[in-house]
Amino acid sequence: MSAPLLSLKNLGVSFRRDGVTTPAVHSLSLDIQPGETVALVGESGSGKSVSALASLGLLPDNADQRGQISWKGQPVDTADEAHMRSLRGNEIGMIFQEPMTSLNPLHTIETQIGESLRQHQGMSMAAARDRTVALLEQVGIPDPELRLGNHPHELSGGQRQRVMIAMALANQPDLLIADEPTTALDVTIEAQILDLLADLKRESGLSMLFITHDLGVVRQIADRVFVMRDGKLVESGDVTSVFTAPQATYTRDLISAQPDGIRPDAPVQGDPVLDASGLKVHFPIRGGLLRRTKDWIRAVDGVDLTLRQGQTLGIVGESGSGKSTLARAITRLVPSEGQITLDGVAVPNTGATALKSFRRQVQIVFQDPFGALSPRLSVGDIIAEGLMAHDIGTGAEQKQAVAEALQEVGLDPASAGRYPHEFSGGQRQRIAIARALILKPRVILFDEPTSALDMTVQKSLVALLGDLQQRHQLSYIFISHDIALIASISHDMLVMKDGVLVEQGSAETILTKPQQDYTRALITAAKRKS
């Protein structure tokens, strides 16, 4: 057998903070052979991403690293930054978990991908532009030439993730380290990306270290799987053996934590809480010296919906279908046409004062909790923001309300003084839910709230949302690319494509008797992972 591409021997990582050392990885050993895909799975905080960052020499200054790391038989754990930078640019590609924090918000997509091509491949600007268009097309971004001038905030979460994949593949690396690369992708694009990676593996011998919480993806793509918990390796082996005969209780728990089918609840018959009719959000496409409008992106194009008290309305569709824009239109966070009513009362389109009462009643939890939570504020201050904005309670009463909100979402009230970066992804999402919950709203919109979470955390979060809904008679609009998840949590479903509704009805009806080819394609792609 040839020497492994990447070899970790007894890797240990710990972090120093305020005189306290916290271990993150304990004596991890693994090899990745040429042409092999190794999956690293485990809950948030298990040490998966830390191990990957250690392999690339990207740990922060407060990290202590032990053990040996080799690349193609040569030690790299002691290599200087120049050598590691060259290695990262040419031989190892990395797809990071949170594209919004990894992409530069000030630079266009063309600039960010082209910079790597020019630096490492010596390409001209014209050649880099052509290669960038080809890469964007390769990872499934429609109209790639039109997207070259976009900034990251102008793309959907799934589109940003595809840009990250394109950047990682730009220099044709030998090893691709993919940290949750499909979490923000809908099932059809996910299937395309997995097929793309499989093609690259077959045609060029690409090796992969695939970090994911999605065991359905692991089953499809990996040759071997390593299961981590609390920084320790608890099980490893070939994929077939681990899935058919898992040895560790923890592994069995991960496998069983998949969405469990159609929600059994009876249809909700409560009064309508929120109505939307004829919602439209169109964005101009400008060009020329005078930046005149050449065309329009019809992100949302005439959507009607009704949400009842105590109901969960699921919205599913591909990245770029208009789901997130619809959520922002409903909450009046983007300019829109059409009518919205709350309890039968029309909601104005503009005006901070006029919208203040509405926004207290209708809250939103965004896809990326790390980007939605201010890194400069403590968790307690973040959760209390709404109370202060609406002049609710004294300082002591607000502090008590924060403690109760944290407790309600399963977090220790004593953590109010900590900061977002000190929490796992699942914990940050609970903080975001607490922030929405503290105002006692009628409606909460969830925009891909579980996309970056492992299955066990996802399952616990869904259970939490169900409990909160029952306790407070909340109404939810739940947006996801994961049709199996939507089916397990929703009473009714809406299917979106290109800004319009293509199908709607009960979750059971749509899952068992879809009427549209597009819906059937979503369901078929989801079944690939089961």
Burial of 17 (0-12, 13-18, 19+ CB in 10 A): exposed
pLDDT tens-digit readout, 428-445: 889 999 999 999 999 999
Do 1-91+175-256 and 272-283+298-527 fold alike per CATH? yes
Q: At residue 239, does pLDDT exceed 80?
A: yes
pLDDT the model gives residue 259: 63
pLDDT tens-digit readout, 514-530: 999 999 988 887 777 66
pLDDT tens-digit readout, 111-124: 999 988 998 888 99
Q: Categorize the per-residue pLDDT at 487 as very low, low, confident or very high, splitting at 50, 70 and 90.
A: confident
pLDDT the model gives residue 262: 64
Whether the Cβ atoms of residue 187 and residue 482 lie closer than 8 Å to each other: yes
Distance CA 38, CA 471 (A): 43
Sign of CA dihedral 278, 283, 288, 291: positive
| pLDDT > 70: percent of the chain | 96
pLDDT tens-digit readout, 292-339: 888 888 999 999 999 999 999 999 988 788 999 999 999 999 999 999
CATH architecture of the domain formed by 1-91+175-256: 3-Layer(aba) Sandwich (3.40)
Q: Categorize the per-residue pLDDT at 448 as very low, low, confident or very high, splitting at 50, 70 and 90.
A: confident
Query: Which are the contacts of 71, defined by CB distance < 8 A and separation ≥ 6?
Result: 5, 6, 7, 87, 91, 92
Distance CA 404, CA 426 (A): 19
Whether the Cβ atoms of residue 57 and residue 84 lie closer than 8 Å to each other: yes
pTM, rounded to two decimals: 0.72
Average pLDDT over residues 26-46: 91
Q: At residue 208, does pLDDT exceed 60?
A: yes
Output the CATH code of domain 272-283+298-527: 3.40.50.300
Please report, as a single letter, which amino acid is at residue 24.
Answer: A
Average pLDDT over residues 336-348: 94
Domain parsing of the chain, residue ranges = 1-91+175-256, 100-172, 272-283+298-527
Q: At residue 495, does pLDDT exceed 80?
A: yes
